[in-house]
Structure 1
Amino acid sequence: MISRLAVFLVSLLVTLPVTATPQAEIQKLPSRLAKSTGLPQSEIAGWFDRVSYQKKIIDAITRPSEGLPWYRYKKIFLNKRRIDGGVAFWKKHRKDLESAEKQYGVPAEIIVAIIGVETQYGHNKGRWSALDSLATLAVGYPRRSKFFYTELVQLVRLAKEEKLSPVQLKSSYAGALGLPQFMPSSYRAYAVDFNADGQRDLLNSEADAIGSVANYFARHGWKKNAPVVARAKIKSKAGLKLVNKKLKPSMTLAQLAQKGIKPLVNMPQTEKATVLGYDEKTRKNYQLGFKNFYVITRYNTSRNYAMAAWLLAQEVAYPLFAHAEAVKGGGVVVADAGVPGGLEHSLASLFGELVKQIADGGA
C-alpha cells in the first residue's frame, strides 16, 4: 500500500507544472516582442543577450517615495539645493523656456519644476538598463505586468524610430527616459524636436526636454492663467469625507460650499475643484485642487508629487520676479495659493515669513 502511494505521489509531482524563473520568462520576451512589433526576432534576441532580471527593481517599485507622508516627502524636493538648481537652469535656458511658454501656454516655472523633480535638472537621469527595467517589471511585477510589457514594446519601437541603441539606453527603475523621465509611450507620443536638429532627443537635449514637457502639459489640458491650488477650510464631517477621494475636479466651489468647504480666497463659484489633504506632523493641511493640478497628476498620479512640483515651481519662480506678484501659472497671489507646511527657516525659503505664516495657518 505504501509503495503504491509513493508511486502516486511521485507521478503527481511529475505532472505538476513547474513555475519558470523570472530570468527564463525574460528569455521568452524576444519571441513575444517580435510578434508585437513585426521586427526580426533575431535582432531583438541580440538585444536581450545581456538582459537580466533585477530583484532590486521590484524592491524599488514596491517602496516608492510617493508613499511617504507629505511632511517627509516634501523635504526631498523643497530644499535650497533643488530651488537654486532650478533658478540656474531657468537662467541658462531662458530663451527655450520663453519660447515653450509662448508656444504651448505652459508657464516656464512648471516646466523647470518637472525637470527638477524628475532628474534634478538632468543630473540624475537613471542608472538602470532600460531593457532590464522594463523586462524585469514585465515578468516580475504581476500587478502591472501588462503595462510594463506594453512599455517594453514601445521602447523597441522608439529605438528603431529614433535610431537609438536599446542596449545602451539608461532609465529609472521603472523605465522612464531622459531629462523629463518620459515612459517610452509618452516619448513617442509627446516628445518634440524643439531645437529643430532633426531628432527628438530627450536623453541629452535640454531644449527638446523643455519643449516636450510643455507639449505634454498642453496636450493634457493645461489652462493658461487658470488656478492650480488654493488653501481651504473644512467645517463639516460631510466635507471631510470628500478629502482625497478623487483627483479629477468634479464639484463646483458652490457645491463644495454646501458641504462646508471654502477656499481662503475669493474665487468664481463655478470653478470646479477636488479636495486634497496633506499630512503635517501635527495636523492636516487642506487644499482645493483645480483643473491644472489634475493636469500635473497626468504626469504622475501621486498627490504628493503634484503638490511638490507645483510648490517647487513657485519657489524657483519667486526670485526671478521683480515684485511679489501672482505667479503666472496660478492666477492667484503666491501667498494666497497655499503652501502645505511651508519651508523651515533653515532652508532659506524664498517666499519669506508671510508665506510661511499662511502656510502654517497663522495668517
Structure 2
Amino acid sequence: MKHVVNFSSRLCLGLSLLIFSGCANQPEKSQDFSRHARTPTQQIPPNQSRSATPDLRPLAGVGGYRAETVSGDYAGYQALNHFIDFMAQKHGFDPYYLAGLFSQAKRKQWTLDYLAKSDKSLKAQPGKGSWSRYRAKFLDTRHINSGVSFWHKHHNALQRASREYGVPAEYILGIMAVETTFGSYVGSHRVIDALTTLAFDYRRRGEYFRGELENFLVMARSEHIDPAKPVGSFAGAMGLGQFMPSSFLEWAVDFNGDGHRDLWNPIDSIGSVANYFAQHGWQPGQPVVSSVRGNPAAASNLEPGLDHVYTIESLQKSGLSLGTDCHCDAPLRLLWLRHNSNDEYRVGYPNFYVITRYNQSTHYAMAVHELAQAIKTAYHNGKKG
C-alpha cells in the first residue's frame, strides 16, 4: 500500500534523480526513532493502557497538508523521517500528509535554552523562602476571586463531576487555577511546534516527547482537529487543565455530551480533571494534608519528599503526631516547606500524592491544596453574605 512505503527511503526517489542527489548526505540531527518507538512512560494505575489507540480515519487527517519531503526547519532530520514511517505503519497516516504538516513546524530555540537551564537545577534542594515565593504566585486575590466566579458560572457541572467522580469541586478548581487561571492563559505555543522541537532536539527527554507527538497526532485526527492549530504550553500541554496528549487519550472526557472531547471547553475540562483524579486513586472523604507536631528535622531516620513513604506508626516512633487522622494505614509523605523566616513540615496523605500525579512537585500540590481551600471558603462565605 502506498501509505506504508518507507518514507526515509522515498527521500531518494522522484521523477528527477538530480533533485535528490544530495539525500544520502543529509545530516542526522537526532536519534533514530526506530530505537525509540515506545510511547512515553508515565505512572498510571494498574491495568490502565497508556499507548495511543490506532484510529484509521481518515488516513490523511485534517488540514490538507501534503509534500513529497519535509522542508522548513526540520528538513533533513532522519529521526523525523523514521517517525513518519512509524506513524504510517502503526496508525495508518499518509506519510505525504505528515511531510506536509512537519514542513510547517517551527523549531523553538527558546524552549531548548530554557530547559537546558532548568535541567541543571532539577536536583537542587529547596532554598530558604522557596515555598513563600512559589505560594505568592498563586495564593492571591486574582486566583481566588476567579475561582469563585468560575464556580458560580459552572456550578452544575462541578456538582455533577463531584457526584460522578468523587472529587470535591474545590480541587478541580485548584488545578485550573494553578494551570491557567481558568483559561485566562492557556499558552501561546503551537502544540505541533512545541512537541516537534522537544521530540527531535531535546536529548534528555526526547523519547517521552516523541511519544507525546504520536499521541497528539492520533488525538487531532480522532477529534477532527487541524494539528497545526491548537496552542498550549511550551511543552505541549493543552486546555484549561493543561493535559499532555497522552493524558488526553487516557483521561479526557466529553462531559458536555456534544460528541467531542475539548479541553478548551470549561465543561469538558471540569469532567476531565475530575476523571484524572479519580483514575489516579482519589479517595472521597479522605484528608489531603495534615499539620505535624514535633520536630521532623531532628529525626535522622526521616527524609522529606515524594519518594519517601512512612506509616503513621513510624512517624509516631520518630516523635511526631498528626493534626488530622485519616483512620487508615495509608502511605504518608513528609513535606518540607521553606518559608522566608522558618521551615514548615506537613504530612501528605494519598490524596496529596494524587495531586502530584498531575505535577510531581510538593510546591505545586500544596498550591493546589491551599487554593482549593481558599476558593471554597470564599465561595461559601459569599453565599452566606
Q: Same fold (TM over 0.5)?
A: yes
Cα separation, 1, equivalents of 2:169 and 2:296:
38
Which residue is equivalent to 1:311? 370
**Contact 1:119/1:125 (<8 A) preserved:** yes
Give the Cα–Cα distance (whole angstroms) in 1 for the partners of residues 212 and 311 of structure 2.
Answer: 37
Structure 1 residue aligned with 2:86, among 35, 40, 45? 35
The 8 Å contact of residues 190 and 215 in structure 1, kept in 2 or not, is answered as yes
Q: How many Å separate the matches in 1 of 2:181 and 2:297? A: 40
Q: Is the 8 A contact 1:82 1:116 kept in 2?
A: yes
Cα distance in 2, alignment partners of residues 244 and 104 from structure 1: 30
**RMSD, aligned α-carbons:** 2.5
The TM-score, its normalising length taken from structure 1, stands at 0.78
Q: Under a length normalisation based on structure 2, what TM-score does the superposition of the two structures give?
A: 0.74
Structure with a larger share of its residues in helix: 1
Could you say if the C-alpha distance between residues 34 and 90 of structure 1 is closer, same or farther in structure 2, counting changes exceeding 3 Å? farther
* Equivalent runs, 1:42-81 vs 2, <5 Å: 42-62=96-116, 69-81=130-142
Q: Deviations over 1:97-145 (max 9, x none)?
A: 0000000000000011111111110111110011110111112221111
Shift of 1:63: 5.3
1:145 corresponds to which of 196, 203, 206: 206
Q: Equivalent residue for 1:282?
A: 341
Name which of 288, 294, 306 aligns with 1:228.
288
Using the TM superposition, give the Cα deviation of residue 59 of structure 1 relative to its aligned residue in structure 2, in angstroms: 2.8
- What are the equivalent positions in structure 2 for 1:81-100 lying under 5 Å apart? 81-100=142-161
Task: Measure the CA separation in 2 of the matches of 1:124 and 1:298.
Answer: 22
* 3-state SS of 1:72 partner: helix
Percent identity over paired residues: 37
CA distance in 2, matches of 1:267, 1:220: 19
- Note the 1:110-259 alignment, pairs <5 A: 110-203=171-264, 205-235=265-295, 239=299, 241-247=301-307, 250-259=309-318
1:260-279 equivalence runs, <5 A? 260-265=319-324, 268=327, 270-279=329-338
Distance 1:31 1:140 in 2: 15
User: Partners of 1:117 and 1:236 in 2: how far apart?
Assistant: 29
Report the CA distance shift for 1:311/1:245 in structure 2 as closer, same or farther (over 3 A): closer
* Cα drift, residue 46 of structure 1: 1.1
Cα separation, partners in 2 of 1:110 and 1:86, compared to 1, 3 Å: same
| Change in 2 beyond 3 A, CA 1:106/1:240 | farther
Q: Do the aligned residues in 1 keep the contact of 2:27 with 2:77 (CA within 8 Å)?
A: no
Give the whole-Å Cα distance in 2 for the aligned partners of 1:254 and 1:211.
Answer: 37
Gaps of 5+ in 1: 1-16, 324-363
Gaps of 5+ in 2: 1-25, 31-72
CA displacement at 1:61 relative to structure 2: 3.3
- Contact 1:135 / 1:152 at 8 angstroms: preserved in 2? yes
* 1:302 and 2:361 correspond: yes
SS at the partner of 2:336? strand
Q: Which amino acid aligns with 1:311?
A: E
Aligned equivalents of 2:278 and 2:199: distance in 1? 30
Tell which deviates more after alignment, 67-76 or 165-174: 67-76
**In the aligned structure 2, how far is the partner of 1:82 from the partner of 1:116?**
6
* In structure 2, distance between residues paired with 1:284 and 1:237: 9
3-state SS in 2 of match to 1:213: helix
Q: What amino acid is the match of 1:44?
A: L
Rounded Cα–Cα distance in structure 2 between residues aligned with 1:259 and 1:252: 11
